[in-house]
Structure 1
């Protein structure tokens, strides 16, 4: 069962860790490339702030973004800002998201995200947790997939294997970290078994690792669609 209150607390903790780490940067280092192609660290921080506000929109019943172009333009506009402005924006937008999470509401209701994707409102805090944790890794400032909280890793593996379940481009696949196993890909008996540490598995599923540390039995390591 999803516990949105617990997830909101996890979002706060993850945001605090990110802000503490990012505070050690400077204006020059925020202009340097992040681990995301075409994005500087400033782009990552700007995206985190705008995503928090976008999820406030989702919880309020408004469109997540005015449009895809508006989303991209806002990130480009905000990316070059000085570090102090970036950190303040991430902090204040996080506070707005946290405040939205305290408003009495039916957390079982269905909400709409981008591109027609729908989900339970109760899962929105977890989706925000994903944004904060993975983009902390993307900043390339010493936080790695091995540093992700264990609970987060297990839930993100389950979330992403479910996301790729039934995807025509992914062969029927069994994924295991040696303790737990998940199924993903097209329907049918698993053609490939992918195994490795939980950190390497989540890094591969989330597009943050190339999968070279994983073992694929029964075939090649599947190529995953972009998130």
Structure 2
């Protein structure tokens, strides 16, 4: 069961880690390339801020973004801002998200996100936690997948395994870090299963499109090609 109150606290802590780390940057560093193709660090920071308000919209029953073009143009508009403006925006939008999450609500209700994706309102705080943690890594400022909280890593592996479950392009796949195991891919009964083994951060990096999977070992076939997130 999703604990939205606990996840809201985790979002707050993750946001503070990001803000604290980003204060060591300068305006020139904001314009430099992030780890995401085509995005500077300013693009990443702008997206982190805008995503918080987009998820406030989701909790309020409004469209997450006015349109895909609006989302993209807003990120492009805000990406060149100086560091102080970027961090102030993240802090302010994070506060608005926390305020929205503190309102009395029916957390079991279904909400709509981007591209018609639906989910329980109770999982929206976890979705925000994902955005903050992974984009902190994407900044390329010393925070790595190995630095992510263990609880987050395990839950995010499960979340992404669920996302790819039943996908016709992903073969039946067992994921394991030697302690925990997850299954994903198309659920064809009796089909040969590929087993992918590695550390939890390595598994997460591959599932989230942050690493190519070189640190993983594969039995029963080739490392599956995952569709884009």
TM-score, normalised to structure 1, is: 0.99
> How many Å apart are 1:187 and its aligned residue?
1.3
Name the structure 1 match of 2:115: 115
Partner of 2:96, secondary structure, is helix
Structure 2 Cα separation of the partners of residues 34 and 167 of structure 1: 30
Partner of 2:57: 57
Match for residue 90 of structure 2? 90
Match of 2:226 among 221, 224, 227: 224
Whether 1:207 and 2:204 are equivalent positions in the alignment is: no
Q: Give the whole-Å Cα distance in 1 for the aligned partners of 2:140 and 2:34.
A: 6
What is the alpha-carbon distance in structure 2 between the residues aligned to residue 148 and residue 222 of structure 1?
24
Contact 1:174 1:190 (C-alpha < 8 Å) held by counterparts: no
Q: Is contact 1:34-1:139 (8 Å) kept? A: yes
**Alignment match, 1:138:** 138
2:195 aligned counterpart, secondary structure: strand
Alignment root-mean-square deviation, CA: 0.6
Deviation of 1:191 (Å): 2.4
Equivalent-residue separation in structure 2 for 1:140 and 1:69 (angstroms): 27
Q: 1:72-91 residue pairs with structure 2 within 5 A?
A: 72-91=72-91
For residues 84 and 208 of structure 1, what CA distance do their matches in structure 2 show?
A: 27
Shift of 1:219: 0.6
Give the conservation status (yes or no) of the 8 Å contact 1:10–1:129: yes
Q: Distance in 1 between matches of 2:28 and 2:180?
A: 43
2:195 corresponds in structure 1 to 193
> TM-score, normalised on structure 2?
0.98
Alignment deviations for residues 150-180 of structure 1 (CA, whole Å, 9 cap, x no partner): 0000100000000000001111111111011
Further displaced range: 183-192 or 206-215: 183-192
Q: Secondary structure at the match of 1:17?
A: helix
Cα distance, 1:74 vs structure 2: 0.1
Task: Give the match's secondary structure for 2:196.
Answer: strand
Do the aligned partners of 1:169 and 1:185 also contact (CA within 8 Å) in 2? yes
Q: How many aligned positions are there?
A: 227
Runs (5+) with no aligned partner, structure 1 = none
SS in 2 for 1:101: helix
Which residue pairs with 2:184 in the alignment? 184
Secondary structure in 1 aligned to 2:171?
coil
Shift of 1:190: 4.5
State the Cα deviation string for residues 92-131 of structure 1 (Å, max 9, x = none): 0000000000100000000000100000000000000000
SS at structure 2 position matched to 1:193:
strand
